[in-house]
Chain A
Amino acid sequence: DTEVTQTPKHLVMGMTNKKSLKCEQHMGHRAMYWYKQKAKKPPELMFVYSYEKLSINESVPSRFSPECPNSSLLNLHLHALQPEDSALYLCASEQGEEAFFGQGTRLTVV
C-alpha cells in the first residue's frame, strides 16, 4: 500500500475562517511534507517533518500552522488566509528515497 490520503478534497473558506487540512499515511514513513502548487506551476515546499518534528519551514507565513500529532498523521491549520493562498495543497511521505503524494486539497479562499 503506497497510499497517502488527504481530506478534504475541496475546501472553500472565508478570510476570517479557521480550517484544517489532514493527511494520513500507513506506510510507516517517518518523513512527511506539505507542498503548495499554484495553477500551471510546479509544487513548492512548505514544511518538512522528520520523526514527528518540524525540520524545515520554508519561510511560510504564520497563517499556515503545521502539526504532526503522530507518525501517521499530518495536519495543516489555516487561519486568516488571503485569496492569493488559493492553491492545491499536496501532502507527501517518504521512507528512504521515494516520495509518495496524496491527491491534494483544492483550497479556495474567498
Chain B
Amino acid sequence: KQEVTQIPAALSVPEGENLVLNCSFTDSAIYNLQWFRQDPGKGLTSLLLIQSSQREQTSGRLNASLDKSSGRSTLYIAASQPGDSATYLCAVKPFQKLVFGTGTRLLVSP
C-alpha cells in the first residue's frame, strides 16, 4: 500500500525566506507526482505536475523535483510571501487515483 509522508508538518517563517517542503512515498511505481495548495476550507489548487520520467518542474517562484528511485520529492519556494500561507499537499498517482501526503501547513509572516 502506497504511503505518502510530508515533512515538516508545519512551518512558520518570516517573509522573504526560501523554503523547502519534503514529500516521501513508499512505492516508486508511480505515473506522476502533483503538488497542490489548499487554503483553509477551500479546494485544491494544482501547482506543479511532474511526470514519472521527469526530474523537475518550475513555475514562477516554485520548483519541484522528483527522485523516484529514492521515493522523494521536494517543493522549493523562493522569496516567500504572506500570500503563500496555506497547506501544501503532494500526491502520487500509482494507478487511476491520487494518494495524498499528510500536508505541510505553511505560515509566512510579514
Residue positions of A touching B, CB distance < 8 A: 2, 4, 6, 31, 33, 42-45, 48, 50, 55-56, 88, 90, 92, 97-104, 106
Residue in contact with A31 in the complex, picked from B36, B45, B96, B101, CB distance below 8 Å: B96
Q: Is the CB of B49 closer than 8 A to any CB of chain A?
A: yes
Contact A42 B97 (CB under 8 A): no
A49 → B minimal CB distance (Å): 11
Residue positions of B touching A, CB distance < 8 A: 31-32, 34, 36, 41-46, 49, 51, 89, 91, 93, 96-98, 100-103
A108 → B minimal CB distance (Å): 12
CB contacts between A and B, total, < 8 Å: 54
| A residues in contact with B44, CB < 8 Å | 43, 90, 92, 101
| A residues in contact with B42, CB < 8 Å | 103-104
Name A47's closest neighbour in chain B (CB-CB): B97
Name B100's closest neighbour in chain A (CB-CB): A42
| B residues in contact with A90, CB < 8 Å | 43-44
| A residues in contact with B98, CB < 8 Å | 33, 43, 45, 92, 99
* The 6 A-B residue pairs with the shortest CB-CB distance in the complex, in nearest-first order: A42-B100, A101-B44, A103-B43, A101-B43, A104-B43, A98-B49
